[in-house]
């Protein structure tokens, strides 16, 4: 869509298409092999224990995998992957100080039915020669994954596409919860919510548990799918995640749902006696 030889500059074309210049210029396979290996192992260690900081991660790389990386290098790679100790993946959505922030609306609120609260987040997914970012929208009550998208950059476009797909397919929630990242505080994203009379809730800064259901989803996806399959490229990743999320929604028993499937709860075939 962006043509270098066109009359408009690359910057202007990207603005008109609502994509970042980074997304246009992105080329896969630009990371050194050694860094990709370190990132792969950092992802495993961080998913296992998100309280590890750069000091512990540097030591764990050495003890567990015989990989040498100082704290500065670990910190740089974590920043690229969107990881931060204690509260996982908040840096995937860096805040924009010019964007409006909304209060967290869910503290002490009983979740009692589908489409009461939806939530979203972004995570890093490793490939054989690189990585992509994954976003998903989940219904809090049923744990049903309503929509998901992949992107090679952290541009807000793929988050908006996931939101539009979820709304078009499943209607709208009463409350939509996100973190305070620029993907979610942008006027384009919040405007879709407000135009549909959806209340906007945003996690408190540094509060990992405010979006705990999506954090649990990421851990499950990585341990049950990503680490086992080892995707070679984006196409293989998309195909694998499509099959996984279909199984997650319709054929995977969830302990927190009394071993029912999310689809059974979301579509009303099963009514939980008590919200999990």
Task: Please write the tens of the pLDDT for every residue from 22-56.
Answer: 555 544 446 788 888 888 888 888 777 777 788 88
Which of these three, 37, 66, 87, is where a domain ends? 87
Q: Average model confidence (pLDDT) for the chain?
A: 83
pTM beyond 0.75, yes or no: no
Report pLDDT for 35: 83
We report the CATH number of the domain holding residue 256 as 3.30.420.10
63-77, 114-128, 159-173: which has the highest mean pLDDT?
159-173
User: Lowest-confidence range among 50-54, 112-116, 147-151, 268-272?
Assistant: 50-54
Same domain? 83 vs 130:
no
User: Lowest-confidence range among 165-174, 176-185, 187-196, 248-257?
Assistant: 176-185
Neighbouring C-beta atoms of residue 238, cutoff 10 Å = 16
Same domain? 21 vs 72:
yes
Nearest by Cα to 121 from 132, 109, 134, 131:
134
Same domain? 175 vs 253:
yes
Report pLDDT for 82: 65
Same domain? 132 vs 72:
no
Q: Write the burial class of residue 182 (CB in 10 Å: 0-12 exposed, 13-18 middle, 19+ buried).
A: middle
Q: What are phi and psi of 35, to 5 degrees?
A: -65, -40
Query: At residue 126, does pLDDT exceed 80?
Result: yes
Helix (H) or strand (E) holding 44: helix 33-48
Same domain? 77 vs 125:
no
Same domain? 190 vs 233:
yes
Gap between the Cα atoms of 147 and 8, Å rounded = 34
Report the number of distinct structural domains present in the chain: 2
275 inside domain = no
Same domain? 79 vs 122:
no
Which of these three, 69, 87, 105, is where a domain ends? 87
Q: Name 31's Cβ contacts closer than 8 Å, sequence gap at least 6.
A: 39, 130, 131
| Containing structural domain, residue 46 | 10-87
């Amino acid at each position: 869509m962006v043509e270098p030889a066109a009359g408009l500059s690359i910057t202007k074309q990207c603005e008109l298409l609502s994509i970042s210049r980074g997304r246009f210029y992105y080329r896969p396979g630009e990371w050194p092999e050694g860094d990709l290996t370190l990132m792969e192992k950092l992802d495993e260690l961080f998913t296992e224990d998100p309280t590890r900081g750069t000091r512990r991660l540097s030591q764990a790389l050495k003890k567990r995998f015989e990989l040498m990386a100082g704290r500065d290098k670990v910190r740089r790679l974590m920043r690229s992957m969107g990881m931060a100790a204690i509260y996982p993946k908040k840096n995937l959505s860096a805040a924009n100080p010019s964007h409006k922030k909304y209060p967290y609306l869910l503290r002490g609120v009983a979740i009692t039915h589908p489409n009461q609260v939806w939530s979203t987040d972004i995570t890093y997914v490793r490939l054989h020669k690189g990585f992509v970012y994954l976003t998903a929208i989940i219904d809090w009550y049923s744990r049903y994954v309503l929509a998901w998208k992949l992107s090679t950059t952290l541009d807000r476009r793929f988050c908006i596409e996931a939101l539009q797909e979820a709304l078009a397919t499943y209607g709208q929630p009463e409350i939509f919860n996100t973190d305070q990242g620029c993907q979610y505080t942008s006027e384009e994203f919040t405007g879709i919510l407000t135009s549909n009379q959806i209340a906007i809730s945003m996690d408190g800064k540094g509060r990992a548990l405010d979006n705990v259901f999506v954090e649990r989803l990421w851990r499950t996806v990585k341990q049950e799918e990503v680490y086992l399959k080892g995707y070679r490229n984006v196409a293989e990743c998309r195909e694998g995640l499509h099959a996984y999320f279909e199984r997650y929604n319709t054929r995977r028993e969830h302990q927190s749902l009394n071993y029912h499937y999310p689809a059974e709860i979301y579509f009303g075939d099963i009514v939980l006696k008590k919200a999990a």
